[in-house]
Structure formats: C-alpha cells, structure tokens
A and B are shown apart, each in its own frame.
Chain A
Amino acid sequence: MSRRLSVLIAIGLVAGFLSGMFGVGGGIIIVPLLIALAAYPPKTAMATSLAAILFTATAAAAAHANEGNVQWADAVLLGVPAVFGALIGAAWHQRASTRGIVLAFAAFLALVAVRLATE
C-alpha cells in the first residue's frame, strides 16, 4: 500500500473515531489533517472534506434512522433551507482568498473548541 493511501486511510479512521466520540463533524478534523499530512492546499482540503463526510453522514444517518431516532419533519425543516445555504457557502468558498477562508475556518474551529469545552 502506498504511503499516500495509508495517510488517507489513517485520516479517515481518526476523523471517524473522534467525530463519533465527541459528536463533532468529521470535517473539522479532516481539513487540518489533509493540510498537515497530505500537503493539500487549504481550499482543496475543505472541498474534499465536504465530499468525504457525505459518506460518513449517510452511513451514520442510516444507522440512526434504523433505530427510529430521526425526526423527519424537523430534518426537512432544517435540511431544505440548508441546501440554499450550501449554494451560498460554495460560492463564497470559491470567491474567497486562501488567507481569508483559512482565517474564517480557524475562527470557526476555535468556536467549536470553546463550545465543546463549556458543554
């Protein structure tokens, strides 16, 4: 197995474990790891992370749905507006400078950390 493939698998394993354990999304873990360990440019790391968590979220949601925990009316109430948000977010991502988006991401990450610590 190539070193690169091992690194990607390791990132997935770690991101999955930490997100399952602490209930945070895998994305905040995948993005810094792709930049630090796989030499990803920051914007590519964010876009690729989004695609990666599609798998994670789908598998986890399916497991939860089987247990009957998904409240579908609320999922629609939040999920449909979120699609419009995704169009806005992708457009902002594409227009932003690398420095600007990394600083914004860092601020977001710090916010997640504070919330986690004070929960």
Chain B
Amino acid sequence: MEHLLAAFLGVVAGTLSAMFGVGGGLIFVPTLIFLGSNTHQAVATSLAAMIPAILVGSWRQTRYGAVRWKDATVIGIASIPTAQLGAAAANDLSNDALRKAFAVLLFAVAVQMAVRALRDGGSSDSSSGPDPPSA
C-alpha cells in the first residue's frame, strides 16, 4: 500500500517536472521521508530518482522543438559549482529568516506571473517553437 502510494506520487512528480521544467523534489523529498529516509538521504535519493524523468521529459520537449540546448547547457553547467556553495552556506547558517524571505520572494514572483498572464491573454507565446510534429 505504501509502495503503491509512492509509485503514484512518482507519476505526479514526473508530470509536474516535464510540464513546468522543474525537478520534482517538492514531492519526492517528503515522500522519501515518509518512506523512512532521513533528510540527507531523501535529498540525495530524490536527485537520483528524478534524472530518468528529466531525461525523458527533455527528449520529448526537444522533439517538440521547445528546448534551446545551448542556453540550457550554459545555465546547467554554471549552476553546478554554486549549488555546492549554496549547500555549504545552508549548513553554516541554517537561517530560518532567510528561508522565509526567499519564500516571500517566490510568492511575489508567482503573483506577478499570474497577473501578467491574465492581463496579456494567451497570445504571447506564438514564437515558442514549431507546431508539434504531426507524424
């Protein structure tokens, strides 16, 4: 039963990941903690678990023509060293106020994106790539 729930949450995480271009850790990490991992193990396992889904999602999106691989490579490689810096900084500080400030910032970005989408309507993405292949 536990495993069935975990598998279902895996599907949900993969769906969100490919749909929005995110990792899926939001769902994976709590699920793994529920399954008995500690926090370190959950983060590590979540990262490993999402790689096949990201790979398949990127492949589908590439076929659709929406991935700019050169840009993605630059961003991806640039993020590798600072991710370790950030993790080290988090271990040093573990600052609650900082996390709340970041949460407020994310929330503000979410509101701003929603307001713009509602104002502009749905027509601004016509240049997002070719139509889906018909074959």
B72 pairs with A13, CB closer than 8 A: no
Q: How large is the interface on A (under 10, 10 to 19, 20 to 34, 35 or more residues)?
A: 35 or more
A-side contacts of B111, CB under 8 Å: 106, 110
Per the 8 Å Cβ criterion, residues 91-130 of B in contact with A are 99-100, 102-104, 106-107, 109-111, 113-114, 116-118, 120-129
Choose from B26, B28, B67 the contact partner of A48 (Cβ within 8 Å).
B67
B-side contacts of A55, CB under 8 Å: 72-73, 76-77, 79-80
Contacts A25-B25, A85-B12 given; does A113 touch B75 at CB 8 Å: no
Interface of B is mostly: helix
Chain A proximity of B113: nearest CB distance (Å)? 4
Closest to A12 in B: B78
Closest to A92 in B: B19
B-contact bits for A4-22, CB 8 A (1 contact / 0 none) = 0100111111111111111
B71 pairs with A56, CB closer than 8 A: no
B44 pairs with A94, CB closer than 8 A: no
Give the residue among A14, A98, A119 with the most B Cβ atoms within 10 A: A98
B-side contacts of A102, CB under 8 Å: 113-114, 116-117
Q: Kindly count the residue-residue contacts between A and B in the assembled complex, taking CB atoms under 8 Å apart.
A: 403
B-side contacts of A24, CB under 8 Å: 25-26
Contacts A77-B3, A86-B15, A103-B118 given; does A56 touch B66 at CB 8 Å: no
B28 pairs with A78, CB closer than 8 A: yes
B-contact bits for A80-119, CB 8 A (1 contact / 0 none) = 1111111111111110111111111111111111111101
A19 pairs with B86, CB closer than 8 A: yes
Bound state CA distance, A67 and B48, in angstroms? Answer: 13
B-side contacts of A111, CB under 8 Å: 26
Contacts A24-B26, A26-B23 given; does A50 touch B18 at CB 8 Å: yes
Q: Give 19 pairs: A residue, B residue, CB < 8 Å, sorted on A.
A: A9-B74, A16-B82, A25-B25, A41-B126, A43-B66, A45-B21, A48-B21, A50-B67, A54-B72, A60-B80, A70-B44, A70-B45, A71-B44, A74-B37, A79-B48, A81-B10, A93-B20, A96-B19, A117-B107
Chain B interface (Cβ within 8 Å of chain A)?
A: 3, 6-26, 28-29, 31-32, 35, 37, 40-41, 43-58, 60-62, 64, 66-69, 71-90, 99-100, 102-104, 106-107, 109-111, 113-114, 116-118, 120-129, 132
